[in-house]
Structure formats: structure tokens, C-alpha cells
């Protein structure tokens, strides 16, 4: 789909025009308007209608709050490793013992209006709160199960009702997280293998009928209009069962969205993995949930807060790929959002106040790859350069074909001097901007380019002004082995499940400044995941030269926008490219170690000017 038709579709422009012209016709003919009948819309049109607010939102607050905030990561004097909201599972706590937490749960300091105000001031447009997480405890007054905050705790209030009222007042959408498969409190649900060991005795359909469907019905009946239901972890659920949930939500509230994690690709939009940010030109509407520290539910020993700069950069990165950034907070058992989260949200809010134009209502980056200094968002006639690493000698952007009319810093509207050189013979385009020496904003300084016409760029993978070329795995041409499922890309665009050495990839790229280049392979390591896997060997071939080497851990580098995924750099050797022009680089596995579950994984291959690596 072209950028133009995509951005039209995304802004809902087509439907506004249709409704608008319809209204006008009726007015001209002097007829009374018939009430809008949504039953006449096709399934696709209904989804488009539902997605309208979501596409504009860009930024939401996720709240993980439940009984688990009472132990806050500690059980019987021992710190339980892992996520705070998983303490029941990680500690194999019997249902009868975990239930007792409800007697201590009295979050008297909970103040819905304050939480909603915090979200609003941070620039968030929706709130997704855990109405029931995997522990099975309902955080609202449910009549389906007494295991809920109103009936089972001394609190005797319904925080979802209070939030619904507060959110309605300030125009924020309230949305509910609901764990549809895992429910460690219920014998027939998924997940509790310590109390309910015998899987053959489990009747998952019964749990769906007797708990999930009636509770989802309550949530969509008693709390006013709900923006979306955020289902999660679709384990052991059939396609028919996921579809029934989707249908139930849409029957009760046709405008309510269903998250991608309902299962089987049936949601209204896609959900990236936790703390994962999608790359490239993402085809479906999407959202990513992100933690501010390491856990979702409050955990007293988790002080690993991400700096505000990372949060702002991630928000922008997600926006530049057309997605929504859902940033989590985990209130304490008193009902308070931890101060480090409050501080960060305020800082994000102040940044957005100055720079919101470059986030809300923007289109995706015209480049399918990331740029070395930051990220791009767009609007008709405007290109927003989000500069994270402020260069000392001005900024050069390659590949933009539009004539630039004006360049300025968004904050304060400060005019910048620039020159533009468009050499269509050599197919080389460059805008060079003179910049103040100090970064105007330590988190993200936004430069605006006012351009003539719809933004158009050179789609080639090209050498950047610093001389390097990055060849991301997800932009490679994949040569599949016949009949094999094989190599695929995760939502970060990283190649995985590359187990067959007959599969290989290649890229075309453009060099404008020839020279000697070191070739490095980037793989990645998850902070709290499995250990880094390498040791496979590959052959890289480009410009008539061949390098065979092992993928090793020569050096680790921070991923500038995501502390969860470090880069692991493997040096493969040096090549010489003596002329400007188009080249191909191929990467073929020699050996893939069989004991590695994900096989050969790959973030990108980079050509770096010799010695600069
Ligand atoms: O298991 C849950 C986890 O506790 C948390 O709710 C996250 C949020 O995306 N979702 C699941 C894991 O992906």
C-alpha cells in the first residue's frame, strides 16, 4: 500500500468525507436525517470505525494492580524472583493461602481522579487496568465470583467504577485488561499446576462459560463505554473460543476494541511482545506494552527505573511505526502509583507539551530502517526529525527527495540554516542543517522540515553520512528452503528459528563514499530471558569478497531505545569497496548449532568504515 493511501486510511479521512457528503445531501434536499445505523456496516467498516480513536491515541497508561501488590514480591520472608504479579505462580502459593491476602488489601489512598489526572497530564489518551489478572482476583464488584475487591477485602469500594467516572469526566478512555485463559484460582482454567495438577480433569470450556463470559459481560455492562478489552496470554484456547469472546465484546459494545492477545489473530489490532517495539512498515494497527522498571505489578525490590529519555524515545519510535505505546504503572497495596513513575510521567508530559505536534496524528517514518541519530515522524508537508544523539557538526539527512522550504526547532520555533543538494543523476539526496552546539532537549530535540509535496524518499538501504551501512534482518530478501516453515521474524524484526542452513538472506545496498569497511553481525540478548546464543558460523559475500567466520560475542552495546535488548557485536572481517554504486551482500549459514532452540538469530549486518568499529 502506498504511503498516501495508508495515511488516508489511518486518519479515517475516507469515512469522514463520506459521512460529510451524506449529511450535506440530506440538508440540501431538506430531508430529516435518518439515525446512523451501524448494523449496515461491513465487518471491516466496523473495525475501521472502532479503530478511529486508537489510531489517534498513540499513548496509553497500563495499570497492573491486584492482590499481588500486598506481598510486593516477598513471600514468607523470601524475595520471589520474577514479575511481581506472578508471585502466586512463581512461589507455587496454594489458592487457600493466596486468598488470605484479600483480608489485608485495603488501598485507602487509591484516588481515581488523581490517577486519571496524572495520565491526562502525561499526554496519555487511554487507561488499561487489570480487571482480573492471572491470579483470578477481580478488581471490581463482580457478582459472578465473590473473589473480588468489593466482597473479599476491607476496602469495600469498586475502583473500576471510580476510575470509569473519573475518566469520563476528563475524556480519557477506560479499558480493561482481562486474563481470559490463565486463572490460577480456578480448577478448570490454565496455569495452576500446583493445586490443580491433573490436566485431564480440567474443563476449560466450563471456566469460559461460567467465569470469563459472565465477567466480561459485567465489565461491558456496568462501567459505561469501554475503549478496549485487553485479553492476554491466549494459551490453550481454540480459535472458536477466541472468536466467541470477540463476538461477545462486539455484541455488548460494538465500538469496543479487542486486543491482539485474544488469540489466533482475531483481535482488532496487533499486540507486540512485552517491551518489544515493532520495526519497518507495520501493516496492521498495533500497540506495545512496556514496563517502566522491570515488573508490571508492584514489587518493592524493583528499582530499575528506565530513564525518562528512554520512555520518550520509545514513545516516538512506536509512533514512527504507526503504533501505540502503552506504558505501565504498578500501584502499591495502598493504591498509590510509585513516585519514580509519577516523576517520569510528569517529565514525559512536559516534553509532549512542547512537542506533541510531532507525535499525535503523525504518519510513519518514510524510511523502513532506523537512522543513526534518531527517528522520523511525518505529517503532510512536514518531516519531524527526533534527534536523540545531538551531533556536534550539524546534521545531514540522506535520501529525502522533497524540496525543503524551511528548517526549525519545534520547541521555540527556532529557524535553522540549511543547504540541500539533490543530485538525481547520481540518485543522491542530502539536506545539511547547521545546529546549535548544545542539544536543546536532552531527551529528544525535534527539528521540523517544511517540505513541498508528499514526502518521498530513496527506498534503498544506503550509506549514512557517518559512512556506515546497516542491513536490518527484516529488510533482507529471504531465500527459503523448499517446503520448510523455517526462518521468521519476531515483532522486533529479528530473524529467528533459522535452523536450516540451506536458508539464506541477501540485501541490496548503495555506497556513495567507497573505502575499507569492517563487517559486523548484530545479534541481541534479552535482559531477563535466555542466555545469549551464538557460535554458529556464516559466510558473508559482497563486492566479490568472501568472509567466513563464527558469530561470537566480541562486544555488547546498549540498544539506544530499549534496555531490554542489548546488542551483541560479532566482528566478521574487512572488505574493500572501491567504487560508489549498488552492491549485494549475502549471508549464508555454514553451521547452525543444533542445540540452540531459536537457531541462528540476526538483528542486522553492518558495514562500518574501517577502524571506526
Ligand atoms: O503474563 C503477563 C504479564 O504478567 C503481564 O500482564 C504482561 C503485560 O503485557 N502480559 C503477560 C505476559 O506477556
Pocket test for ligand 1, best of 232, 235, 287, 294 (most atoms within 8 A of CB): 232
Do residues 358 and 444 lie in contact, with contact meaning Cβ atoms separated by under 8 Å?
Answer: no
Do residues 430 and 300 lie in contact, with contact meaning Cβ atoms separated by under 8 Å?
Answer: no
Is residue 456 lining ligand 1, measured as CB closer than 6 Å? no
Q: Which residue has the higher pLDDT, 300 or 492?
A: 300
Do residues 241 and 213 lie in contact, with contact meaning Cβ atoms separated by under 8 Å?
Answer: no
Pocket test for ligand 1, best of 61, 262, 296 (most atoms within 8 A of CB): 296
Q: Which residue has the higher pLDDT, 20 or 548?
A: 548
Helices within 29-111 (DSSP H only): 43-57, 87-90, 95-99, 101-104
CA distance 155 to 161: 14
State pLDDT tens for residues 299-323: 999 999 999 999 999 999 999 999 9
Give kind and range of the element (H or E) at residue 469. Answer: strand 469-472
Minimal-distance CA residue to ligand 1 atom 13: 274
Do residues 338 and 305 lie in contact, with contact meaning Cβ atoms separated by under 8 Å?
Answer: no
Strand partners, 352: none
Distance 115 CA to ligand 1 centre (A): 21
Is residue 289 lining ligand 1, measured as CB closer than 6 Å? yes
pLDDT score, position 35 = 53
User: Is residue 332 very low, low, confident or very high in pLDDT (cuts 50, 70, 90)?
Assistant: very high
Is residue 184 lining ligand 1, measured as CB closer than 6 Å? no
Is residue 493 lining ligand 1, measured as CB closer than 6 Å? no
Return the residue matching grid coordinates 514479575. Answer: 83
Q: Which residue has the higher pLDDT, 43 or 158?
A: 158
CA distance 270 to 261: 8
pLDDT score, position 26 = 31
Minimal-distance CA residue to ligand 1 atom 1: 233
Work out whether strand 395-398 and strand 404-409 pair parallel, antiparallel, or are unpaired: unpaired
User: Is residue 37 very low, low, confident or very high in pLDDT (cuts 50, 70, 90)?
Assistant: low
User: What average pLDDT does range 239-263 have in this prediction?
Assistant: 98
Do residues 276 and 323 lie in contact, with contact meaning Cβ atoms separated by under 8 Å?
Answer: no
Q: What is the mean pLDDT of the chain?
A: 91
Distance 135 CA to ligand 1 centre (A): 12
Residue 318's closest CA among 561, 596, 116, 539? 561
Q: Which residues contact 304 (CB under 8 A, 6 or more apart)?
A: 293, 294
Residue 254's closest CA among 220, 219, 211? 220
3-state SS track over 267-298: CCCEECCCCCCCCCCCCCCEEEEECCCCCCCC
State pLDDT tens for residues 394-452: 999 999 999 999 999 999 999 999 999 998 888 889 999 999 999 999 999 999 999 99
CA distance 486 to 488: 6
**Dihedral sign, Cα of residue 351, residue 355, residue 356, residue 360:** negative
Query: Does residue 290 have a pLDDT over 50?
Result: yes
Q: Which residues contact 275 (CB under 8 A, 6 or more apart)?
A: 288, 289, 290, 291, 562, 564
Minimal-distance CA residue to ligand 1 atom 5: 296
Q: Which atom of ligand 1 is nearest to the CA of 274?
A: 9
Q: Which atom of ligand 1 is nearest to the CA of 130?
A: 6
Distance 232 CA to ligand 1 centre (A): 7
The set of cell numbers assigned to 238 is 481454540
Coil, strand, or helix at residue 108?
coil
Distance 502 CA to ligand 1 centre (A): 36
Is residue 85 lining ligand 1, measured as CB closer than 6 Å? yes
pLDDT score, position 310 = 96
Helices within 320-435 (DSSP H only): 339-355
The set of cell numbers assigned to 309 is 529519555
DSSP count for the chain of H helices, then E strands: 13, 32
Is residue 128 lining ligand 1, measured as CB closer than 6 Å? no
Radius of gyration of the chain (CA): 26
Residue 85's closest CA among 177, 206, 173? 177
Q: What per-residue string of b and e applies to 357-367 under the rule 16 or more CB within 10 Å gives b?
A: bbbbbbbbbbb
pLDDT score, position 19 = 24
User: Is residue 36 very low, low, confident or very high in pLDDT (cuts 50, 70, 90)?
Assistant: low
Q: pTM for the full model? A: 0.89
What is the maximal distance between C-alpha atoms in the chain? 77
CA distance 172 to 7: 24
CA distance 106 to 109: 9
Q: Which residues contact 44 (CB under 8 A, 6 or more apart)?
A: none
Coil, strand, or helix at residue 431?
strand
Q: Which residue has the higher pLDDT, 31 or 61?
A: 61
Query: Does residue 384 have a pLDDT over 60?
Result: yes
Q: Which atom of ligand 1 is nearest to the CA of 64?
A: 6
Distance 386 CA to ligand 1 centre (A): 30
Query: Does residue 588 have a pLDDT over 90?
Result: yes
Give kind and range of the element (H or E) at residue 230. Answer: strand 228-232
Chain centroid, CA 230 distance in Å: 14
Q: Which atom of ligand 1 is nearest to the CA of 328?
A: 8
Coil, strand, or helix at residue 537?
strand
Distance 295 CA to ligand 1 centre (A): 9
Q: Which atom of ligand 1 is nearest to the CA of 133?
A: 6
Is residue 233 lining ligand 1, measured as CB closer than 6 Å? yes
Query: Does residue 279 have a pLDDT over 90?
Result: no
User: What is the DSSP code (8-state) at residue 252?
Assistant: H
Do residues 110 and 331 lie in contact, with contact meaning Cβ atoms separated by under 8 Å?
Answer: yes
CA distance 602 to 521: 8
Amino acid at each position: 500500500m502506498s504511503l498516501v493511501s495508508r495515511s488516508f486510511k489511518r486518519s479515517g479521512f475516507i469515512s469522514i468525507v463520506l459521512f460529510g457528503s451524506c449529511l450535506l445531501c440530506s440538508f440540501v434536499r431538506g430531508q430529516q436525517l435518518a439515525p446512523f445505523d451501524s448494523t449496515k456496516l461491513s465487518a471491516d467498516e466496523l473495525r475501521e470505525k472502532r479503530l478511529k480513536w486508537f489510531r489517534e491515541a498513540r499513548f496509553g497508561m497500563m495499570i497492573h494492580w491486584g492482590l499481588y501488590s500486598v506481598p510486593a514480591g516477598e513471600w514468607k520472608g523470601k524475595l520471589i524472583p520474577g514479575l511481581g504479579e506472578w508471585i502466586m505462580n512463581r512461589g507455587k502459593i496454594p489458592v487457600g493461602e493466596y486468598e488470605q491476602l484479600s483480608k489485608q488489601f485495603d488501598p485507602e489512598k487509591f484516588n481515581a481522579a488523581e490517577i486519571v489526572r496524572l495520565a491526562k497530564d502525561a499526554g496519555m489518551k487511554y487507561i488499561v487496568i487489570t480487571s482480573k489478572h492471572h491470579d483470578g482476583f477481580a478488581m471490581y464488584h463482580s457478582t459472578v465470583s465473590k473473589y473480588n475487591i468489593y466482597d473479599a477485602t476491607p476496602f469495600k469500594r469498586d475502583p473500576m467504577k471510580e476510575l470509569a467516572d473519573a475518566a469520563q469526566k476528563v475524556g480519557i478512555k477506560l479499558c480493561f485488561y482481562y486474563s481470559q485463559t490463565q486463572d490460577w484460582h480456578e480448577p478448570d482454567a490454565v496455569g495452576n499446576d500446583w493445586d490443580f495438577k491433573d490436566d485431564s480433569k480440567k474443563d476449560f470450556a466450563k471456566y469460559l462459560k461460567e467465569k470469563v463470559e459472565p465477567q466480561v459481560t459485567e465489565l461491558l455492562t456496568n462501567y459505561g463505554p469501554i475503549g478496549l478489552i485487553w485479553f492476554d496470554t491466549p494459551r490453550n484456547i481454540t480459535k472458536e473460543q477466541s472468536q466467541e469472546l470477540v463476538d461477545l465484546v462486539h455484541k455488548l459494545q460494538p465500538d469496543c476494541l479487542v486486543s491482539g492477545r485474544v488469540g489466533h489473530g482475531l483481535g482488532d489490532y496487533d499486540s507486540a511482545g512485552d517491551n518489544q517495539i515493532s520495526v519497518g512498515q507495520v501493516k496492521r494497527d498495533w500497540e506495545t506494552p512496556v514496563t517502566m522498571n522491570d515488573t508490571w505489578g508492584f514489587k518493592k525490590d524493583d528499582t530499575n527505573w528506565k530513564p525518562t529519555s528512554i520512555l520518550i524515545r520509545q514513545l516516538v519510535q512506536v509512533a514512527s511505526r504507526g503504533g501505540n505505546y502503552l506504558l505501565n504503572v504498578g500501584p502499591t497495596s495502598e493504591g498509590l502509583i510509585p513516585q519514580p513513575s509519577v516523576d517520569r510521567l510528569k517529565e514525559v508530559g512536559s516534553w509532549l507539551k512542547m512537542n506533541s505536534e510531532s507525535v499525535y496524528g503523525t504518519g510513519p517514518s518514510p524510511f523502513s530502517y532506523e537512522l543513526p541519530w534518531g527517528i522520523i515522524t511525518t505529517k503532510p508537508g512536514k518531516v519531524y526529525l527526533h534527534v536523540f544523539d545531538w551531533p556536534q557538526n550539524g546534521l545531514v539527512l540522506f535520501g529525502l527527495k522533497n524540496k525543503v522550504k524551511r528548517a526549525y526547532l519545534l520547541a521555540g520555533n527556532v529557524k535553522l540554516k540549511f543547504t540541500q543538494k539533490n543530485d538525481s543523476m547520481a540518485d543522491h539526496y542530502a539536506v545539511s542543517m547547521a545546529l546549535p552546539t548544545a542539544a536543546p532537549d536532552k531527551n529528544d530535540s525535534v527539528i521540523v522540515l517544511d517540505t513541498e509535496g508528499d514526502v518521498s524518499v530513496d527506498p534503498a538501504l544506503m550509506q549514512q553520512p557517518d559512512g556506515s551501512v546497516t542491513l536490518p534482518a527484516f529488510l533482507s530478501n529471504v531465500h527459503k528452503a523448499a517446503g520448510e516453515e523455517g526462518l521468521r521474524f519476531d515483532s522486533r524484526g529479528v530473524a529467528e528459528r533459522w535452523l536450516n542452513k540451506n536458508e539464506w538472506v541477501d540485501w541490496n545496498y548503495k555506497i556513495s563514499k567507497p573505502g575499507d569497511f569492517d563487517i559486523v553481525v548484530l545479534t541481541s540478548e534479552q535482559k531477563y530471558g535466555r542466555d545469549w546464543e551464538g557460535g554458529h558460523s556464516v559466510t558473508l559475500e559482497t563486492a566479490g569478497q568472501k568472509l567466513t567466520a563464527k558469530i561470537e560475542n566480541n562486544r555488547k552495546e546498549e540498544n539506544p531505545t530499549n534496555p531490554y535488548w542489548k546488542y551483541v557485536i560479532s566482528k566478521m572481517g574487512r572488505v574493500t569497496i572501491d567504487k560508489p554504486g549498488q552492491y549485494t551482500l549475502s549471508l549464508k549459514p555454514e553451521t547452525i548449532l543444533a542445540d540452540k532452540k531459536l537457531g541462528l538469530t540476526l538483528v542486522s549486518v553492518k558495514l562500518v568504515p574501517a577502524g571506526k568499529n
